[in-house]
């Protein structure tokens, strides 16, 4: 059974583990090991709390196990017109099984998303095809990753 719900503080360790697994098992195929280890080290209880405090975080539960997560937050300096989707991860064992679509549906149903005219995602090389299928395109037509490895994608509403 799949359920989607708002993030709760007791989800912190499961979200941290999920993010680290993605970075070190999945994204590492497209990025240098050192960069993925650096990003994995960012996932602490404080960082997860920062995401959920400054935005709205959601989790997807599959048979009681945290299988996916994501956060939507107002875009820096443009809080009323734009938002950004961050830290979208699916447990590697469940990738390709629709969990990502559940996360995106929750994020796209959120008040921050609904009030935004422009939505941005700093996508990984690994995930950009998924976001393209959901209608996101490359910001300014630039398909190249930035210095941190993100491909900036956006959607207008």
What does the domain layout of the chain look like in residue ranges? 2-156
Q: What pLDDT was estimated at residue 59?
A: 98
Three-state secondary structure readout of the chain: CEEEEECCHHHHHHHHHHHHHHHHHHHHHCCCHHHHHHHHHHCCHHHHHHHHHHCEEEEEEECCEEEEEEEEEECCCCCCCEEEEEEEEECHHHCCCCHHHHHHHHHHHCHHHHCCCEEEEEECCCCHHHHHHCCCEEHHHCCCCCCCCCEEEEEEC
Q: Given this model, what pLDDT does residue 56 score?
A: 97
How much is the pLDDT for 77? 74
Q: What mean pLDDT do residues 126-140 have?
A: 97
- At 105, is the pLDDT very low, low, confident or very high (cuts 50, 70, 90)? very high
Residues in Cβ contact with 119 at an 8 Å cutoff, skipping those fewer than 6 apart: 82, 83, 84, 85, 113, 136, 154, 155, 156, 157
What number of other Cβ atoms are within 10 A of residue 93's Cβ?
12
pLDDT value for 53: 96
Residues 14-63 pLDDT 10s: 999 999 999 999 999 999 999 999 999 999 999 999 999 999 999 999 99
Q: What is the pLDDT of residues 58-88, one digit of tens each?
A: 999 999 999 999 999 998 878 789 999 999 9
Q: Structurally, what CATH architecture does the domain formed by 2-156 represent?
A: 3-Layer(aba) Sandwich (3.40)
Measured distance CA(98)–CA(91) in Å, rounded: 11
Instruction: Output the six-digit token pair for 72.
Output: 């939507």
């Amino acid at each position: 059974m799949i359920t989607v719900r708002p993030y709760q503080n007791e989800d912190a360790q499961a979200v941290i583990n999920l993010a680290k697994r993605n970075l070190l098992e999945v994204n590492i195929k497209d990025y240098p090991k050192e960069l993925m280890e650096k990003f994995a080290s960012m996932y602490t209880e404080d960082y997860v709390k920062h995401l959920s405090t400054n935005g709205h975080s959601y989790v997807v539960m599959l048979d009681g196990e945290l299988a996916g997560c994501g956060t939507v937050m107002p875009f820096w300096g443009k809080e009323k017109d734009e938002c950004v989707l961050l830290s979208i991860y699916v447990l590697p064992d469940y990738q390709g099984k629709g969990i990502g679509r559940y996360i995106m549906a929750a994020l796209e149903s959120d008040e921050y998303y609904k009030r935004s005219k422009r939505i941005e995602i700093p996508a990984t090389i690994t995930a950009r095809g998924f976001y393209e299928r959901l209608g996101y395109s490359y910001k300014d037509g630039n398909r190249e990753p930035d210095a941190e490895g993100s491909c900036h994608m956006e959607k207008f509403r």
